[in-house]
Every structure is written in structure tokens, then in C-alpha cells.
Amino acid sequence: MKITKEKAAENRQTLVETAARLFREKGMDGVGVAEISKAAGLTHGALYAHFPSKDALAAEAMQFSTRAAYGKVTERPVTLPELIAFYLAPQQRDNLADGCPLAAAASEVARQDAAVGAGYTAGLRQMADYIAQQLPPEQRGRALGIMAALIGAVGVSRNVYKSDPELANEVLESVHSMLLSLN
């Protein structure tokens, strides 16, 4: 049975959104095409009809998730202190599936296809540019440092949470205080 162009586009978007969520939740190497296809309600044959490889899907999923995360931040413009507080909240740390794709993939992207890295880089630049707009012109170079601190803090906090929840919270709180003291 042949599907319409509209249904094919819908299936492709479902695959991208499902992969983006699963990659954030389980890691890019922690989920396979069969699991992504099943979670999307499609066959892995359908996945390969849209993407030549898992790497191609991962690249598109990274682009999608960074654009979506940026859209959430900019739908109601927030101040830098609000962004820092939101990003470093325990709820963000604990929300792997819907959290920031930059934090979720920080330790994985270097081992992935260059196209995944390009999507990550574009998302990082976009967020740094958003932060830079809120800084005095002579301090705009700090925007990348702020993003690196946010991503790193979430990553470290996630890594220690299971063995030491108190330390995990302390990491978030200390980076939050440090970043606010710089303004």
C-alpha cells in the first residue's frame, strides 16, 4: 500500500522527534533503530526508507532538538538570570528525555558522525548568541563560557546524582551562584 506524501512527511517527523527524545534519554549509542522505529510506531524498514543510516537520523534529530530547545527559550524571552536558574534547576537535570540536547549529548558528540557534531555546534552557537545579546558588547565573549558552564554543570550533576544526590544539587547551586556573581 502506497502512502501519501503527507503521511510520509508525518512519519519522517515522528521518527526525528522520537529519535531526538530517545537519544537525550538513553544516549545515541544506547538506542538502536529497532527501538526508535518501535517507539515511533513504525517498522525499521520505514526508518531506512527515510534515512540511509542511524547517523543520518541522529544528525537530523540533533538539529531538530537544538532548534526546539532554542524555540522554548525564546518563545517568551528570558533574562540571563532567568535562563541560568531554569537551566540549572534540578528538574532540568532530572528530565533527560525533554531536557537540553546540548547537555544530554555533551560527552557523546565527539564519537558521532560529523553531521551530528555540526547540529550540536549550530545549537551551541545559537544559544551563545542569545546569551551574548544580553551582555554588554565588551563582554559578549563570555557567552560561550556561560554555555559551557551550564552544560558542564548539568552533565556533572547528572553523573553524580545516583551516588550522591546532595553533591549533585550542590554542583547546580554552586555554578548558579558563580554565574550570577559574574553579572
The per-residue pLDDT for 1 is: 63
Domain at 52, CATH number: 1.10.357.10
What is the C-alpha to C-alpha distance for residues 164 and 159, in angstroms, rounded to an integer? 9
Domain that holds residue 48: 5-181
Domains: count for the chain: 1
- Global pTM reads 0.89
The per-residue pLDDT for 183 is: 64
Q: How many CA atoms lie within 13 A of 33 on its CB side?
A: 16
pLDDT 10s per residue in the chain (183 long)?
678 889 989 999 999 999 999 999 999 999 999 999 999 999 988 899 999 999 999 999 999 999 999 998 888 888 999 999 999 999 999 998 888 999 999 999 999 999 999 999 999 999 999 999 999 988 888 999 999 999 999 999 999 999 999 999 999 999 999 999 986
End-to-end CA distance of the chain: 60
The per-residue pLDDT for 4 is: 87
The per-residue pLDDT for 141 is: 87
Give the Cα-Cα-Cα angle 30, 34, 37 (nearest 5 degrees). 110
Q: Where are the alpha helices (DSSP H) in the chain?
A: 5-26, 33-40, 44-50, 54-75, 80-87, 90-94, 101-104, 114-132, 142-161, 165-181
CA distances from 134 to 25, 108, 130, 138 (A): 31, 29, 7, 11
Cβ pair 117, 109 in contact under 8 A: yes
